[in-house]
Amino acid sequence: MKRDLDRLMQERGLDAAIVWGTVKGNSTMSYIVNGAKLSHVMVVKKRGQDPILFCGTMEREEAEESGLPVVDTSKYNYRKIMEDAGGDRLKAAVAYYKTILSEVGVTGKVAFYGLGGIGRNWLLLRALDDAIPEITITGEFDDDIFLTARRTKEPEEIERIKAVGRKTCEVVQHVIDYLKSHRLDGDALVRSDGSPVTVGDCKAEIRLELAKRMLIEEVDTIFAIGRDAGIPHSRGNDADPIEAGKTIVFDIFPQEQGGGYFFDMTRTFVVGKASPEILEAYRQLEECFDTVSAKLEAGAKAAQYQTQICDCFEKQGHETIRTNPQVTNGYVHSLGHGIGLDVHENPRLSDFPGIDDTLEPGSVFTFEPGLYYPDKGYGMRIEDVYVVTESNEVVNLTNFPRDLVVKI
Amino acid sequence: MKRDLDRLMQERGLDAAIVWGTVKGNSTMSYIVNGAKLSHVMVVKKRGQDPILFCGTMEREEAEESGLPVVDTSKYNYRKIMEDAGGDRLKAAVAYYKTILSEVGVTGKVAFYGLGGIGRNWLLLRALDDAIPEITITGEFDDDIFLTARRTKEPEEIERIKAVGRKTCEVVQHVIDYLKSHRLDGDALVRSDGSPVTVGDCKAEIRLELAKRMLIEEVDTIFAIGRDAGIPHSRGNDADPIEAGKTIVFDIFPQEQGGGYFFDMTRTFVVGKASPEILEAYRQLEECFDTVSAKLEAGAKAAQYQTQICDCFEKQGHETIRTNPQVTNGYVHSLGHGIGLDVHENPRLSDFPGIDDTLEPGSVFTFEPGLYYPDKGYGMRIEDVYVVTESNEVVNLTNFPRDLVVKI
């Protein structure tokens, strides 16, 4: 949570944290400016003090929404700085930031955060490090103070995730109703005029229903049928017809418009009737889902659940990524990930060297086992979101049935 | 254009260019992988050679869409690298990239591009520079080789921008029709039940119409009325009612879904009837628009048009940003910018130290003069997109009327 930032800075010996970049697409910036709809700004946080927001005159009204003290950067007169630098933009940028950091009294160990051009910012930080003797630039490679603080959510953040979740469930229900509104002609789902309903048609419905609810797709929703459902990353092929008996993996992870909180859930459907093989695989998937999710508890190491789910699937006779890192038929990925301002954040329910996350009060994360048999033309996944409450309960936030068969 | 990359690398003494990051939101990556829908990948381009795409097994099918030679990174066994690094992720990342760069034979001056965590990548580049004696890391601060190559577009890129433009015009027409479908009750635009039509209602229409056309809003469309129309960055307030006689600035700049090309156009509307003052200001805006846009020509310095538009507005008696850099009433911004995979790119029609762009065959750019009087409660802007053709003609790509008054 945000209140952890000062403690984390203390523990890591940081005197100041500086966040650069746009707000959109830059979750660290979005977090520190409390979601204010700004374009390209800078935030300076000295340890033990409130962050200060630096932005241009034109965005003064949006800046107020951040609740942070705001400095209008027009007073630094960038045109004059550029003239003094003879049009050399790197030189001008160094002069500009040097002025600001000196004015705010930033000294000591300083780390930079946020999203930006990789080579460009490497040059700029190197030049700033040389130009300002009062500061020593340092960096954090992974699990930085912001990502660490964001491992646990405040109640208001959880409410926003829940609200996105409710809307997401409405969209999933809409798609089920859309499928049901058609008829089968042999194995093909068709319109009243006999033309086939396709993956692209379903995706168009999803897009519109999300837009109606002020939600966006950061990247394409997964709506993959048959063999594609057996490849976890496949987003599905628009031209594919919806056919009875094939599994459809529908993994939807929308974000609040303008760059906000995500939700993330997956349901697997078979239109019409499922084969005994698919029914049995789905029964096994549900069995492992229920067995392992029942053991989720506050304070537990997240990686252990990946071990448990592999145990469960292997006992059923499936190959897993634990026994074969290159596996493509069986259980082939990690069990889950935190969600928040990024669709993938901490804690990670992965068994991987260097990952040592714990489920803590305020953790919000997905739990998403799946079974994939692309060679047999099917795949399936169930994904719910869980939160660990302040009273150490683990609560499922995905209030949606997981019936496999969509009867037509 | 892409074929300029080798020449630019030669001119700037670069032996290799490496692009990192996601594809979504990272226009440099999107450019080099030809829009392939990948998640997080790496591209290595040695001077004089085709770029090579490095990506994971799960994205092998999407990677093929790039048309680039692909290396499956699973062969490097990152789990083993992490184990060898004792779970130290920076150390593991250095070992991983060192292996790849050595395998591809990257030596000499190497620059990094793409979007990533600022502090994280500064640490990583510093460590790579130390760990690989065969390379010297350098950077480009602005107008890097990719941004420079992208100053001019290939015919296929121009066709895609045109296609987005056609759809954007459809959405603008839809909004006009939507406004016209209501009635006035005094100055208020109302539904048949008498309830007011708001900015939020119009934005909801825009969102849906864009979604239907596979277009997305990277950030909120500007639909600002009255005083807000007088503040160029204001996106408009959802609760504001649509009222007769007030200017509405409608600036729409959608992008192809999944991270592709943008269009960008602005129209100003007054519902019902416009006051003589607003009509006269609009006449003056159109006069300056037509006078200066008629002089756009291939080979010209882009900054001169900012000077010309200031000349025109000042002759009419308006204050401009040239006479007063802090101006808020009059003409307050730059005249235009290139568009492509970013909504703002080169060439820039700005008069600013260090900017020296030229209109060249293949340049695609906006031309968007405006007049802003927030203190008087109005603002107006007209924005069209132009292309310089291979035969040196300047062609307007915004085939849409610019009538101010929307009669109800």
pLDDT in tens, B154-213: 999 999 999 999 999 999 999 999 999 999 999 999 999 999 999 999 999 999 999 999
Q: How far is CA A46 from the centre of its chain?
A: 28
Segment 291-350 of chain A within 8 Å of chain B by CB: 325-326, 328
Q: Residue A77: its chain B contacts at CB < 8 A?
A: 325
Partner-chain contact A114 B117, CB within 8 Å? yes
Rounded mean pLDDT, A259-280: 97
- Contact by Cβ (8 Å): A50, A70: no
Which domains can be identified in chain B, with CATH numbers? 2-149 (3.40.350.10), 155-406 (3.90.230.10)
- Contact by Cβ (8 Å): A372, A160: no
Would you say residue A384 has pLDDT above 90?
yes
The answer to whether A211 faces chain B, any CB pair under 8 Å, is yes
Partner-chain contact A122 B120, CB within 8 Å? no
Partner-chain contact A220 B112, CB within 8 Å? no
**What pLDDT score does B218 carry?**
81
* Cis ω before A401 (30° cut-off from 0): no
- Contact by Cβ (8 Å): A267, A404: no
Rounded mean pLDDT, A75-98: 94
Rounded distance between C-alpha atoms, residue B383 and residue B343, angstroms: 13
Minimal-distance CA residue of chain A relative to B80: A353
User: Which residues, at least 6 apart from A211, have a Cβ–Cβ distance to it below 8 Å?
Assistant: B207, B208, B210, B211
Report residue A111: phi and psi, to 5°: -120, 150
A14: number of Cβ within 10 Å: 22
Rounded distance between C-alpha atoms, residue B352 and residue B331, angstroms: 16
- Contact by Cβ (8 Å): A382, A369: yes
- Tell me the pLDDT band of A23, cut-offs 50, 70 and 90: confident
Partner-chain contact B142 A90, CB within 8 Å? yes
- Contact by Cβ (8 Å): B52, B71: yes
**What pLDDT score does B255 carry?**
96
| Residue with the two structure tokens 């889950």 | A336
**What pLDDT score does B133 carry?**
96
- Contact by Cβ (8 Å): A292, A389: no
- Contact by Cβ (8 Å): A201, A188: no
Rounded distance between C-alpha atoms, residue B130 and residue B210, angstroms: 48
Give, in degrees to the nearest 5, the angle at Cα A245 between A241 and A246.
Answer: 55
Minimal-distance CA residue of chain A relative to B140: A120
Nearest to A354 among B62, B89, B210 (CB): B89
Q: How far is CA A96 from the centre of its chain?
A: 34
> Which residue in B141, B146, B171, B228 has the most chain A C-beta atoms within 10 A of its own C-beta, making it the best mutation to test that interface?
B141
**What pLDDT score does B59 carry?**
84
Give, in degrees to the nearest 5, the angle at Cα A211 between A208 and A214.
Answer: 160
Pairing outcome for strands A378-381 and A364-367: unpaired
User: Which residues, at least 6 apart from B211, have a Cβ–Cβ distance to it below 8 Å?
Assistant: A207, A208, A210, A211
Q: What percent of chain B has pLDDT over 90?
A: 89
Residue B343: name the closest of B213, B251, B244 by CA.
Answer: B251
Minimal-distance CA residue of chain A relative to B87: A354
Partner-chain contact A123 B117, CB within 8 Å? no
**What pLDDT score does B24 carry?**
84
**What pLDDT score does A32 carry?**
97
pLDDT in tens, A343-382: 999 999 999 888 899 999 999 999 999 999 999 999 999 9
- pTM of the entire predicted model: 0.94
Which is higher by pLDDT, B326 or B336? B336
* Cis ω before B347 (30° cut-off from 0): yes
Average model confidence (pLDDT) across chain A: 96
Q: Residue B142: its chain A contacts at CB < 8 A?
A: 89-90, 120
Nearest to A79 among B59, B92, B353 (CB): B353
Segment 11-40 of chain A within 8 Å of chain B by CB: 20-21, 24-25, 37, 39
Minimal-distance CA residue of chain B relative to A124: B141
Rounded distance between C-alpha atoms, residue A255 and residue A258, angstroms: 8
Average model confidence (pLDDT) across chain B: 96
Rounded mean pLDDT, B297-316: 98
And the tokens for B262? 């943008």
Partner-chain contact B325 A120, CB within 8 Å? no
- Contact by Cβ (8 Å): B101, B135: yes
Q: What percent of chain A has pLDDT over 90?
A: 89
Residue A364: name the closest of A349, A380, A354, A350 by CA.
Answer: A349
> Which residue in B118, B249, B306 has the most chain A C-beta atoms within 10 A of its own C-beta, making it the best mutation to test that interface?
B118
Greatest mean pLDDT among A296-300, B38-42, B326-330 lies in A296-300
Partner-chain contact A208 B211, CB within 8 Å? yes
Pairing outcome for strands B405-406 and B265-271: parallel
pLDDT in tens, A292-325: 999 999 999 999 999 999 999 999 999 999 998 8
Q: Residue B24: its chain A contacts at CB < 8 A?
A: 218-219
Q: Residue A21: its chain B contacts at CB < 8 A?
A: 118
Partner-chain contact B120 A111, CB within 8 Å? no
pLDDT in tens, B373-392: 999 999 999 999 999 999 99
Nearest to B216 among A111, A216, A326 (CB): A216
Which is higher by pLDDT, B164 or B59? B164
Min distance A359 CA to chain B CA atoms (Å): 20
Minimal-distance CA residue of chain A relative to B219: A258
**What pLDDT score does A309 carry?**
98
Q: Residue B204: its chain A contacts at CB < 8 A?
A: 212
pLDDT in tens, A197-225: 999 999 999 999 999 999 999 888 999 99
Residue A84, H or E segment:
helix A78-84
**What pLDDT score does B233 carry?**
80
Partner-chain contact A58 B119, CB within 8 Å? no
